[in-house]
Structure 1
Amino acid sequence: MSYPLIAPSILAADFANLQRDIEVLNNSEADWIHVDIMDGVFVPNISFGLPVCEAVHRHAKKPLDVHLMIVQPEQYVEAFAKAGATTITVHLEACTHLHRVLQQIRDLGCKAGVALNPHTSVRLLENVLHDLDMILLMSVNPGFGGQKFIEQTLPKTRQLRQMLQEAGSAALIEVDGGIDTSNAAALVEAGAHVLVAGSSVFRAENPADAIIRLKQVGQRAEA
């Protein structure tokens, strides 16, 4: 597989024309569609929930990468699996029994991901590296789109890549927040496999072209 994968976040899409924007992604070089679920409790914002996820799945031709920024995610992972999620990512900070939740996600036939807020150390994942398929590093504080990229994410990505290599884990590293062509290459060089991009895609004059540019910048770094 060629990296990086590009996962445009529909948090930055036009909600009044969501089907149109999903069709744009279907016809683009995007690899996944990133769906941010926010509950107004774990993060200070509310985005959308199960009905929208189900609606996106009906029209999407790309895998749904569902990011649960919610408390007690174990109560909802089954519903999101039924709503069409391919990957379900939960926050370490929201899970008292993380290992159990990861098993639950995999038992539902989905890929299991864990997200870390900017302040959370990757070392906290040492005991579950073989129980997950992806680690999502937040490169902004979760809750809102359009934030500035946190530079500390680069050494954090390198540290995580080294941990995965030493453990022999095949988990992917995904990075989310403030990503555009100015930092995509550095992230791929640091070890990122998946780049989530919202504003830099949907606020571009041509979102499909923006996805191509991100992918090309990252592929040159990977090469």
Structure 2
Amino acid sequence: MSERRVAIAPSILAADFADFGREVRAVEDQGADMIHVDVMDGHFVPNLTFGPQMVKALRPHVKTVMDVHLMIAPVDPYIDAYAEAGADILSAHYEAGPHIHRTLQAIRGHGMKAGLALNPGTPVEVAGPVLDLCDTVLVMTVNPGFGGQSFLESQLEQIRRLRAMIGDRPITIGIDGGVDTRTAPLAAAAGGDMLVAGSAIFKHGSADDPAPYGEAITALREAARP
């Protein structure tokens, strides 16, 4: 079995809001594999962030992959808007609508990759019936809604169980929340393929001084290496 390569996805929730375009270009130039965009509605989670117009404005600056994580409810009425905005991957939470199967079908029907996001209180077993509609499963290792929270190590067993459920299917496991050089190896060893990191990357450097972004990305990638 070939070694899984762990991707690093900087979360722009931790970037300089007044300079998103340059921030995106800076982390991509420094080795980011994709850009993670957290969409929050103040209803499904206790915070407000970016709508479709902001995602659309970011799109020309993203040269890798735009990974849009919807922490909103309902999801289905907004799938068209985020597809038009240019999302490459669109992830929805299991609880964010009445029919997750239909939601994942609709995401794929718009030509995007489909992600299923699982909260810390959501059993991974709910993913079983819809795994074949998923390109990725995003395991929350914090409660969604805010950046800068501490990694919930209780989620490591959830990740291991999910990895066993997926088997050899081409489905990635994303890890979102509290990822740093201490927790990255734990998440990767449990089965994570993609690490979302906000403050662990953006607390270093700036768009004017991007080298520390690259150092942070490299440190995470090295920490996650088996």
Deviations 1:150-201 (A, max 9, x none): 0111111101101111xx5321100100000001111111100000000100
Aligned pairs (5 A) from 1:187-202: 187-202=187-202
Q: How far apart in 1 are the matches of 2:25 and 2:107?
A: 28
Residue 218 of structure 1: aligned partner: 224
Aligned pairs (5 A) from 1:118-197: 118-165=120-167, 168-197=168-197
SS at match of 2:122: coil
Q: What RMSD over aligned residues (CA atoms) do the two structures have, in Å?
A: 1.1
Does the CA contact (< 8 Å) of 1:129 and 1:169 recur in 2?
A: no
Does the CA contact (< 8 Å) of 2:8 and 2:32 recur in 1?
A: yes
Give me the identity figure in percent.
Answer: 46
Does the CA contact (< 8 Å) of 2:28 and 2:34 recur in 1?
A: no
Deviations 1:24-59 (A, max 9, x none): 122021101000000000000001111110111111
Q: How far apart in 2 are the matches of 1:126 and 1:200?
A: 32
SS at match of 2:224: helix
Q: How far does residue 104 in structure 1 lie from its aligned partner after superposition?
A: 0.5
SS at match of 2:92: strand
Q: How far apart in 2 are the matches of 1:104 and 1:146?
A: 32
Q: How far does residue 102 in structure 1 lie from its aligned partner after superposition?
A: 0.6
Residue 96 of structure 2: aligned partner: 94
Q: Which moved more, 1:142-151 or 1:203-212?
A: 203-212
Residue 48 of structure 1: aligned partner: 50
Aligned pairs (5 A) from 1:77-92: 77-92=79-94
SS at match of 2:204: coil
SS at match of 1:102: helix
SS at match of 1:31: coil
Q: How far apart in 2 are the matches of 1:95 and 1:164?
A: 23
Residue 208 of structure 2: aligned partner: none
Residue 117 of structure 2: aligned partner: 115
TM score, norm. by length of structure 2: 0.94
SS at match of 2:143: coil
Q: How far does residue 82 in structure 1 lie from its aligned partner after superposition?
A: 1.1
Letter in 1 for 2:175: V
Does the CA contact (< 8 Å) of 1:157 and 1:191 recur in 2?
A: yes
Q: How far does residue 2 in structure 1 lie from its aligned partner after superposition?
A: 5.3
Q: How far apart in 1 are the matches of 2:170 and 2:183?
A: 24
Deviations 1:191-216 (A, max 9, x none): 00000000100012411210111111
TM score, norm. by length of structure 1: 0.95
Q: How far apart in 1 are the matches of 2:218 and 2:143?
A: 26
Residue 30 of structure 2: aligned partner: 28
Q: How far apart in 1 are the matches of 2:89 and 2:44?
A: 20
Query: What stretches of structure 1 of length at least 5 have no aligned partner?
Result: none
The number of aligned residues is 218
Q: How far apart in 2 are the matches of 1:29 and 1:92?
A: 31
Query: What stretches of structure 2 of length at least 5 have no aligned partner?
Result: 206-211
